[in-house]
């Protein structure tokens, strides 16, 4: 496997970005769920971790997008019907967008409530807006709604990958894995 | 005889006024008293919206100078109602039992270039401890600015009972900052 993308497979950098962010997103859902069941002081460390992981995703998303723009990606299989091409493009760009907007809304929500965001207690991000309860409530709702949207798009994304692998029997899933590609079925 | 008495009286008064440090009047609208606490690594600032400050200060008469500050702890505002309710609650400030914080400083040192330090006592939750201050004093045409800070540990005053004794989420170190506008 190469560092950069080839004509047929994603390179190591793209794969690392993909799978590391997958792991971090799963962590975020687990932490967010955990916070719902906690009260008062107990909330603080779990929320702090959620914010630190969130800002990590935000930073990685920026780097990932830059890498993506600078690197051609393997083309879709030649027999991909137009509706699937559209669905793939729309869902992938939506996922990229959500990787930015969800943590950004989290950052805005924290700012609006004067609970500044610390990155693993090493440094603190500046507040984006002045304290404002209605703004906090808006960004909180939006953050949760967009996270739910991400969840459902991810389900579709995973289902499509599995369809390619088990039904179409092509390399679409394999090429995002550090494995040797199989020759085409036809 | 009357002349001597009058001049002696005038001299005594003049001497008295010269020796007593200036009595200042706080301008509450332009003055600010805040603290900075640390929550999970991130500092946040909260303001005390109501406080009084009886300031007698003269750089040339430090011995006669005195700060007497009374803080309405119920007026704490960290820009978040839920956090303010928690801070005012029984495990932290306990405002229902001890609504006022009291700070008195009466020993001052001139550190040069308009900088001073003071030793004083802060009373919170019925606990009194020494808290030193560092400040600057600048007398201008619009009044005098007294600006400075103090560092303290909240647990020294029992601000943090029960689960709030834990300092891993809310740090023990708290910084108090002030910028007071004083007029004669």
pLDDT digits (tens, 9 = 90+) for A117-136: 999 999 999 999 999 999 99
Beta carbons of B40 and A118 less than 8 Å apart: yes
CATH number at residue A23: 1.20.950
Instruction: Average the pLDDT over B115-137 and give the result.
Output: 97
Rounded to a whole number of angstroms, the distance from the CA of A27 to the nearest CA of chain B is 19
Residue B17 confidence (pLDDT): 53
Assess if residue B15 is contained within a domain: no
Instruction: Average the pLDDT over A6-21 and give the result.
Output: 96
**pLDDT tens readout for residues A75-125:** 999 999 999 999 999 999 999 999 999 999 999 999 999 999 999 999 999
pTM: 0.89
Assess if residue B28 is contained within a domain: yes
Report angle CA A13, A93, A103 to the nearest 5 degrees.
80
Average pLDDT, chain A: 96
Write out chain B residues lying below 8 Å of A42, CB-based: 163
Domain interval for residue A154: 12-176
Domain interval for residue B50: 21-183
Assess if residue A183 is contained within a domain: no
Assess if residue A181 is contained within a domain: no
Residue B174 confidence (pLDDT): 98
**pLDDT tens readout for residues B3-17:** 777 776 666 665 555
Assess if residue B79 is contained within a domain: yes
Question: Six-digit token pair at B52?
Answer: 């009084």
pLDDT at residue A161 above 90?
A: yes
* Closest by Cβ to B39, choosing from A40, A42, A115: A115
* Closest by Cβ to B42, choosing from A42, A117, A131: A117
Assess if residue A7 is contained within a domain: no
Instruction: Average the pLDDT over B100-119 and give the result.
Output: 96
Contact B83, B39 (CB under 8 A): no
DSSP state of B74: G
Q: Among A99, A87, A72, A96, which Cα is nearest to A159's? A: A87
CATH number at residue B135: 2.40.128.110
Beta carbons of A114 and B42 less than 8 Å apart: no
Beta carbons of B45 and A114 less than 8 Å apart: yes
Residue B68 confidence (pLDDT): 98
Residue A107 confidence (pLDDT): 98
3-class state of residue B29 by DSSP: coil
Write out chain B residues lying below 8 Å of A44, CB-based: 39-40, 169-170
Assess if residue B44 is contained within a domain: yes
Average pLDDT, chain B: 93
- Nearest chain B alpha carbon to A116: B42
Assess if residue A22 is contained within a domain: yes
Q: Which stretch of DSSP H or E encloses residue B108? A: strand B100-112
Tally the domains of chain A. 1
Assess if residue A37 is contained within a domain: yes
Tally the domains of chain B. 1
Beta carbons of B41 and A40 less than 8 Å apart: no
Assess if residue B37 is contained within a domain: yes
Q: Among B66, B146, B134, which Cα is nearest to B106's? A: B66
Assess if residue B13 is contained within a domain: no
Assess if residue A117 is contained within a domain: yes
Assess if residue A149 is contained within a domain: yes
Assess if residue B25 is contained within a domain: yes
Count Cβ atoms below 10 Å from residue B6 Cβ, excluding itself: 10
Size of interface A-B (CB pairs under 8 A): 51
Assess if residue A103 is contained within a domain: yes
- Nearest chain B alpha carbon to A132: B79
Beta carbons of A124 and B41 less than 8 Å apart: yes
Residue A1 confidence (pLDDT): 75
Residue B14 confidence (pLDDT): 57
Residues of chain B in Cβ contact (below 8 Å) with chain A: 39-45, 78-81, 83, 86, 163-164, 166, 168-170
């Amino acid at each position: 496997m190469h560092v950069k993308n080839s004509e047929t497979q994603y390179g190591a950098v793209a794969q690392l970005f993909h799978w590391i962010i997958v792991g971090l997103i799963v962590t975020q859902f687990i932490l967010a769920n955990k916070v719902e069941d906690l009260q008062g002081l107990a909330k603080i460390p779990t929320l702090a971790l959620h914010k630190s992981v969130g800002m990590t995703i935000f930073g990685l998303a920026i780097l990932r997008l830059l890498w993506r723009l600078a690197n051609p990606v393997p083309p879709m299989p030649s027999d991909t019907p137009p509706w699937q091409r559209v669905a793939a493009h729309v869902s992938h760009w939506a996922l990229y967008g959500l990787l930015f907007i969800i943590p950004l809304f989290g950052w805005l929500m924290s700012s609006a409530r004067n609970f500044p965001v610390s990155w693993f207690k090493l440094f603190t991000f500046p507040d984006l807006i002045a304290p404002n309860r209605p703004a906090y409530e808006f960004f909180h709702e939006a953050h949760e709604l967009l996270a739910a949207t991400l969840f459902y798009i991810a389900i579709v994304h995973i289902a499509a990958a599995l369809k390619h692998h088990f039904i179409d029997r092509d390399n679409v899933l394999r090429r995002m894995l550090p494995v040797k590609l199989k020759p085409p079925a036809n | 005889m009357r002349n001597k008495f009058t001049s002696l009286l005038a001299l005594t008064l003049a001497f008295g006024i010269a020796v007593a440090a200036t009595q200042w009047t706080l301008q509450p609208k332009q003055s600010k008293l805040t603290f900075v606490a640390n929550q999970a690594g991130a500092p946040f600032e909260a303001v005390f919206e109501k406080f009084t400050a009886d300031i007698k200060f003269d750089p040339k008469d430090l011995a006669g100078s005195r700060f007497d500050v009374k803080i309405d702890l119920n007026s704490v505002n960290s820009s978040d109602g839920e956090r303010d309710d928690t801070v005012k609650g029984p495990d932290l400030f306990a405002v229902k039992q001890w609504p006022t914080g009291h700070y008195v400083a009466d020993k001052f040192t001139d550190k040069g270039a308009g900088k001073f330090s003071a030793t004083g006592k802060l009373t919170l939750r019925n606990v009194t401890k020494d808290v030193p201050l560092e400040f600057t004093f600048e007398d201008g045409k619009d009044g005098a600015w007294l600006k400075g800070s103090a560092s303290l540990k909240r647990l020294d005053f029992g601000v943090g009972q029960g689960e709030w004794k834990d300092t891993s989420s809310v740090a023990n170190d708290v910084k108090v900052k002030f910028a007071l506008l004083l007029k004669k």
